[in-house]
Chains A and B, each alone.
Chain A
Amino acid sequence: MLKINQLHKSYPIGDSSLHVLKGIDLSVEEGEMVAIMGSSGSGKSTLLNIIGMLDEADSGEYILDGLPIKNLTEKKAAVYRNKFLGFIFQSFNLINYKNALENVALPLYYQGMKRKERQEKAMFHLEKVGLADWAKHLPKELSGGQNQRVAIARALAANPKLLLADEPTGALDTTTSYEIMAFIQQLNDEGKTILMVTHEEDIANMCKRIVRLRDGVIMEDKKVEQVRAEQYV
């Protein structure tokens, strides 16, 4: 699914620069569910963003689904993001003046899908996350858990191969977190590859593999026995 080789990234800070990723090697197969852990500032989000083509590495190799990702034009990057990737963020990142249905339909709009088809498909995904009745509601009228489910529906709408989640449960209480995790596990069961950043051990243990970062390198990469989230819901 994806392969990363000797990936480096630093940020300029004033005159000096901050070396955040110092040679990451990582490969993820289709159908995996990987948790990326590490202390705050260890570069988890940076890594995820590079994988998501939201950011660019300074050096190193990154191959996504057989395609080398290097020096992409903005236009190409937009197409890849739209086709391959679905994003789930800690702060949901829904567009506040669009209702749930419109938010979910947005990636489909950028795929050039017809309006009617778009809305049907978006509705299907909203139903899947159990929010069909909330389709016409604006994000501010929904709870955090509901908003995250809208965001998941949106990430799924374009049927991406890879789902990237940066602390998807970070803003939610434990019960809601488990609900969301149950969803994500279900998606993984259906075959989606999932990469998620998390701080919480219990959430990480609901994945199938845990990658730990420290000081810009991977210090541990191990498979774990997946804890099912349904049992806590």
Chain B
Amino acid sequence: MFDLDLWREIFQSINMNRTRSLLSGFTVAFAILLFAILFGIANGLQNTFQEAFGTDANNSIVIFPGTTSKAHKGLQVGRRIQFTNEDREFILDKFEDKVQFITSKVNRSVTASFKGEKNNYELRGVYPEYMFIENNVIKEGRYINHNDLDNNAKVVVIGRTVEEDLFFKETAIGKYINLSGIQYKIVGVFTDDEGDSEESVIYMPITTTQFVYGNNDFVDLMHLTYNPEMSSDEAMAFGNSIKNSLKDKFDVARSDQRAIRMWNMAEGTKQVDIMTTSLTFIILIIGFGTLIAGIVGISNIMIFIVKERTKEIGIRKALGASPRSIVSIILIESIIITAIAGYIGLLIGVGVLELVGPSLKEYFITNPGVSNSLVVGATITLIIAGTIAGYLPAKKASQIKPIVALRND
């Protein structure tokens, strides 16, 4: 199949008509350069979005109790709603398949001391599942477990900052920490990638907290994560149905906006989703548009080239060139010019992105770039584009009647 002579013909034609080749190559290279840069910038914008919202955009729902704002079923306005341990079970019973993890939570502020060191920290009475909701990582020891809850065990898990503050270089595991006069055994140290404030926290089994601080089963808030396979719309609907069931349970009017309050991450997720979708859409339009423009551009150039070569084609035909051989030379020339020039454009584009990429951070563009798969895809597309762009002009050239071609001098 490989016809050396045909390639020699084509390279001679490209080489001997350098201005023409360079000009058409330049157009293609420029289109692809533009494509790469636009694409890279769009990618960079998307990266920025994912960085800003993506890591936080988990599947959390937080439910707070409030005060009623409407009279309902003979109950007065201004009634305080109080969650208890039972409410967690209530939600689990009702929505088990949609809940991934759920915890009730009691928050207190405590003064903690060890030997002479002393400091104020946030105390959170929680269920073991809380660790997964917060994405805490155990650095040493273990987390709170259900056994601790059943026994109202006087154990705590402390954040990395607490350990650094109070224990210096000593290891905290197994030591007893004093919280408002009561000694608790430290069973674990955790870290949290959200930073210092989230690591200045002490976790305690919720039952212990409830026993020590009030001897009741009151809960300050509930925190759950929903099944991550849910779409943001489904998650919003899920949040609302939890809210409604709780309103019914506490005899609160459905229209009461203050009695049960909710903070649903799905709202933010939904916005990020919309943002990402529209960005992807824009990227697609850019890609498609540049490509079409490129193909039309090459096609135009090829038509021009064919026009310029009309006479030559006529001569070749008079000397016995078959229509197929005419299609071949025009088409392959188009493909070669498109592929080489396009690839050069792509390389320059990628180079430019690498070069100026880091300085674009302040314009909300993070890591602009094109992936390897895109480069491969673009190269293949280029060859296809060259074929499409060259085909019509080549076909037209092969249909030129030699007599017409030879007459116009």
Q: In the bound complex, do residue A78 and residue B12 qualify as a contact, i.e. CB atoms below 8 Å apart?
A: no
Q: In the bound complex, do residue B320 and residue A82 qualify as a contact, i.e. CB atoms below 8 Å apart?
A: yes
Docked pose: A52 CA to B320 CA in angstroms = 11
Closest-CB distance, B9 to chain A (whole angstroms): 8
| In the complex with contacts A54-B401, A55-B401, A95-B312 CB distance below 8 A | yes
A136 contacts B by Cβ under 8 Å: no
Instruction: Kindly identify, within residues 1 to 24 of chain B, every residue whose CB is under 8 Å from any CB belonging to chain A.
Output: 4-5, 9, 12-13, 16-17
Q: In the bound complex, do residue A79 and residue B320 qualify as a contact, i.e. CB atoms below 8 Å apart?
A: yes
Q: In the bound complex, do residue B317 and residue A78 qualify as a contact, i.e. CB atoms below 8 Å apart?
A: yes
Q: In the bound complex, do residue A109 and residue B409 qualify as a contact, i.e. CB atoms below 8 Å apart?
A: no
Q: In the bound complex, do residue B12 and residue A97 qualify as a contact, i.e. CB atoms below 8 Å apart?
A: yes
| In the complex with contacts A54-B401, A110-B325, A154-B319, A91-B12 CB distance below 8 A | no
A62 contacts B by Cβ under 8 Å: no
On chain B, the residues within 8 Å of A91 by CB distance are: 409
Closest-CB distance, B263 to chain A (whole angstroms): 74
Range class of the A interface residue count: 20 to 34
Partner of B406 from the list A54, A74, A83 (CB cut-off 8 Å) is: A54
Docked pose: A74 CA to B313 CA in angstroms = 13
Closest-CB distance, B324 to chain A (whole angstroms): 7
Q: In the bound complex, do residue A54 and residue B318 qualify as a contact, i.e. CB atoms below 8 Å apart?
A: yes
A182-210 contact mask (Cβ, 8 Å, vs B): 1 or 0: 00000000000000000000000000000
Docked pose: A94 CA to B312 CA in angstroms = 8
On chain A, the residues within 8 Å of B321 by CB distance are: 78, 110
Q: In the bound complex, do residue A106 and residue B316 qualify as a contact, i.e. CB atoms below 8 Å apart?
A: yes
| In the complex with contacts A93-B311, A93-B315, A109-B5, A49-B403 CB distance below 8 A | yes
Q: In the bound complex, do residue B315 and residue A54 qualify as a contact, i.e. CB atoms below 8 Å apart?
A: no
Docked pose: A102 CA to B315 CA in angstroms = 13
Docked pose: A87 CA to B12 CA in angstroms = 24
Q: In the bound complex, do residue B325 and residue A98 qualify as a contact, i.e. CB atoms below 8 Å apart?
A: no
> Can you give 26 contacting A-B residue pairs, CB < 8 Å?
A54-B317, A54-B318, A54-B402, A54-B406, A55-B401, A75-B324, A78-B322, A79-B320, A79-B322, A81-B319, A83-B320, A87-B318, A93-B314, A94-B315, A95-B312, A97-B17, A98-B12, A106-B316, A107-B319, A109-B5, A110-B316, A110-B319, A110-B322, A115-B4, A158-B319, A158-B320
Instruction: Kindly identify, within residues 71 to 87 of chain B, every residue whose CB is under 8 Å from any CB belonging to chain A.
Output: none
Q: In the bound complex, do residue A54 and residue B320 qualify as a contact, i.e. CB atoms below 8 Å apart?
A: no
B323 contacts A by Cβ under 8 Å: yes
On chain B, the residues within 8 Å of A78 by CB distance are: 317, 320-323
Closest-CB distance, B6 to chain A (whole angstroms): 9
Instruction: Kindly identify, within residues 1 to 21 of chain A, every residue whose CB is under 8 Å from any CB belonging to chain B.
Output: none
Give A contacts to B, CB under 8 Å.
49, 52, 54-55, 74-75, 78-79, 81-83, 87, 89, 91, 93-98, 102, 106-107, 109-111, 115, 154, 158
Chain B: residues with Cβ within 8 Å of the partner, total of 28
Which of B16, B320, B401 has the largest count of A CB atoms less than 10 A from its CB?
B320
Give B contacts to A, CB under 8 Å.
4-5, 9, 12-13, 16-17, 311-312, 314-325, 398-399, 401-403, 406, 409
Docked pose: A102 CA to B5 CA in angstroms = 12
On chain B, the residues within 8 Å of A83 by CB distance are: 320
Closest-CB distance, B185 to chain A (whole angstroms): 91
Closest-CB distance, A165 to chain B (whole angstroms): 13
Partner of A82 from the list B315, B319, B402 (CB cut-off 8 Å) is: B319
Which of B16, B312, B318 has the largest count of A CB atoms less than 10 A from its CB?
B318
Closest-CB distance, A181 to chain B (whole angstroms): 22
CB-nearest residue of chain A to B399 = A74
Partner of A97 from the list B16, B319, B398 (CB cut-off 8 Å) is: B16
Closest-CB distance, A106 to chain B (whole angstroms): 5
On chain A, the residues within 8 Å of B324 by CB distance are: 75
On chain A, the residues within 8 Å of B311 by CB distance are: 93
Closest-CB distance, B325 to chain A (whole angstroms): 7
Docked pose: A109 CA to B314 CA in angstroms = 16
Docked pose: A14 CA to B220 CA in angstroms = 93
On chain A, the residues within 8 Å of B312 by CB distance are: 95-96
Q: In the bound complex, do residue B319 and residue A74 qualify as a contact, i.e. CB atoms below 8 Å apart?
A: no
Closest-CB distance, A76 to chain B (whole angstroms): 9
Closest-CB distance, B104 to chain A (whole angstroms): 85
Partner of B13 from the list A55, A75, A97, A107 (CB cut-off 8 Å) is: A97
